[in-house]
Amino acid sequence: MNNKKKVYLRTYGCQMNLHDSERLLSLLAEINYDRCDRGEDADLILFNTCAIRDHANSKFYSHLGEIKRIKLANPQLLVGVGGCIGELEGAKLLAKFKYLDFVFSPDTLEKIPQIISTFEKKERSSAPVLLSNQCSLQEKFSFKDTKIVNKGPRAFVAIMKGCNNFCSYCVVPYTRGRERSRPLMEVFDDVLRLVEVEGVQEVTLLGQNVNSYSPDDVNNTHNVCDVRDVRNVQVFVDLLRKLEEIDGLRIIRYTTSHPRDMSDELIQWHGSSNKLSKHLHLPVQSGSNNILAKMNRGYTIEHYLRLLEKLRTYQKEIVISSDMICGYPNETEDEHISNLTLLDLAQFDFIYSYAFSPRPGTAAALIVDHLSDEIRSQRLRELQLKQLAIQEKIRSKMVGKKYLVLVDGVDKRQQKLKGRTNCMRIVHFTPETEIPFGGASQLQRYLWKWVEVEVSSSTAISAQAHLLS
Ligand code: SAM
Ligand code: SF4
Ligand code: F3S
C-alpha cells in the first residue's frame, strides 16, 4: 500500500523559482511526500510565488482564494506560501488569510521539512513565518543542489542568488536580497554529478545576474550597483572554462546576464568555447538612453549595441534574445520610437516584453506617472508586432538548412515531435518513416535524443522540418 503523503505545488515566475520548486520537491521527497496534480488530493499545498509584475501577483491571490474551500473540507490540510511574495508580505499574509498555515521565502526552503514535521507533531507554538532575516549568514549561503534528482538531460544549476543592481522598476533586490555566489568547485561537483550520475547533457547556470558571479567575498562587501570589480567577470569565465572540462556535458547555458557585466573575456569565450550555447539572453529593457538612465541600468544603448557587435564578431552563429519594458513612467512618444528602432538595430531572435508595472517599494513606483494604461498597452502591442515581423524574417533563413535538435516532447496537437536547436529555436518535425505518426505514444523512441533535421518552412516562433537521421 502506498502510504506516501501528497503535495500540490504551484510555481509562478522565473527559472530561479522553477528551480527552487525542484529543490522543494526533492526536500519533501525525503520526508515521504510525492507530488500530486490537484489541491483536493493533497495533504500539503505550497505556492512558490512571484512579485515581478502585478499580473503575477494577482494570479497567485486568485489561486490562493480557491484553496479556502479545500481547506474547509479538509482541516488537516497544510497550506504554505513561499517565493518572492512570501518574502515581501511575510506575516501580513497569515493575518489576512486565516486558512494559511505558514509563510517562507526563497532563502528558507531548507527549513520546510522541519516546519512540516512540527505541524505533524502538533508542536506549533506560534504562527510560523520563515523569512530571510531569520537565517544565519551560513544558511543564506547554503543552497547545495546535490539532492535534486533530475529527470532528463537538461538541468538547472543555481550558481548565485540575489541582485545588487536596484534597477528602478524591479522588486527582485527586495525579495532575493544581495548577491551571494556558490563556491566554484561546489558548482563544478554538482554539474559533474548531474552529468556522470544522472546523464545530464545540458546545464543552465542560474542566477538573477549570473555574469557578476563572484564566489569570494567581493560581492558581499558592497550594496550598491556603482561598485564593480573586474574579478567578478573573470571568475565567471573561470567557472565556464572549468565546466568545459566535463566529458559528456554538451551545452552550457546561463541566464540571466547583465549587459554591464558582459566583459571582453566573456565575449571572447563565446567565440572559443566548444560547449557554450549559441543562444544568449541579454536583457536591454529600453532603446532610449534617457529611460535607461532613469532605470539605473548603467549602460547606454551604444554600449549595448557594441556588445552585440562584438558577440557576433567572435561567435558567428550566436543568436541573441532580450527583455524590454514598454511605458516606463512618463515615457515620451520619441522614447517609444527609440524602442522600436532598437529592434531594427539589434535583430533579436525573440524578446520577452512587458508593460511597466509599478511595484511597491521600488523607486519607479514613486514617480507621478502621466502615461495611461491604454497607451502603455498600445505601445507594447506595437513593439510585439514589430518584433514578430523581424523574427519571421530571421527565422525564414533557416529554410533548407540542417540542424541538430534535442527532442523534448510533442506539439500541442500531438501530431509532431518537438525539439530545440542549440540556439533554443523550436523545431517541429515528423519522422517520415512512421506516418501516421502516433504522437505521444511514439515519443519514447525519440525523447531526449539528438536528431538531425532539415527545415522546410518557418514562422516567427517555430520551424517545420523533416527528420534526416
Ligand atoms: N535580472 C534580469 C535583468 O537584469 O534583466 C531580469 C530579471 S526579471 C526577473 C525579468 C524581467 O522582468 C526583466 O528583465 C524586466 O524586463 C521585467 N520586469 C521587471 N520588473 C518589471 C516591472 N516592474 N514592470 C514590468 N516588467 C518588469
Ligand atoms: Fe531586477 Fe535589475 Fe536585478 Fe535584473 S538586474 S533582477 S532587472 S534589479
Ligand atoms: Fe518573480 Fe522573484 Fe523570479 S519576483 S521573476 S520569482 S526572482
Q: How do residues 299-358 score in pLDDT, each as one tens digit? A: 999 999 999 999 999 999 999 999 999 999 999 999 999 999 999 999 999 999 999 999
358 CA: nearest ligand 1 atom: 23
Q: In this structure, is the dihedral angle defined by the CA atoms of residues 236, 242, 244 and 249, taken in order, positive or negative?
A: negative
Q: In whole angstroms, what separates CA 320 from the centre of its chain?
A: 16
Ligand 1 centroid – CA 316 distance (Å)? 28
Pocket test for ligand 2, best of 17, 171, 208 (most atoms within 8 A of CB): 208
Cα–ligand 1 centroid distance for 284 (angstroms): 10
Ligand 1 centroid to 115 CA: how many Å?
A: 32
What lies within 8 Å, CB to CB, of 280 at 6+ separation is 257, 270, 311, 318, 319, 320, 321
Amino acid at 15: Q
Residue 273 · residue 244 · CB < 8 Å = yes
Determine whether the shortest distance from the Cβ of 164 to ligand 2 is under 6 A: no
Predicted pLDDT of residue 439: 62
pLDDT at 2: 67
Which residue do the cell numbers 549570473 mark? 210
Distance (Å) from CA 95 to ligand 3 centroid = 23
Which of 161, 209, 322 has the most ligand 2 atoms within 8 A of CB, as the residue to mutate? 209
321: phi then psi, degrees, rounded to nearest 5: -120, 170
Instruction: Say which amino acid occupies 206.
Output: L
pLDDT tens digit sequence for 438-447 = 666 678 888 8
Residue 186 to residues 114, 141, 182, 251, 463: CA-CA distances in angstroms?
Answer: 25, 12, 7, 19, 39
Q: Whose CA is nearest to atom 2 of ligand 2?
A: 167
Residue 59 DSSP SS3: helix
Q: Are 404 and 390 in contact (CB under 8 A)?
A: no
Residues ≥6 apart with Cβ < 8 Å to 315: 270, 271, 278
- Ligand 2 pocket test: pick from 15, 50, 53, 172 the residue with the most ligand atoms within 8 Å of its Cβ: 172
- Write out the E strands in 371-443: 402-410, 417-421, 426-430
Whether residue 124 is predicted with pLDDT greater than 70 in this model: the reply is no
Cell 537565517 maps to which residue? Answer: 135
Ligand 1 centroid–CA 381 distance in Å is 18
In whole angstroms, what is the distance from residue 210 CA to residue 4 CA? 37
In angstroms, the CA 12 to CA 21 distance is 10
pTM: 0.92
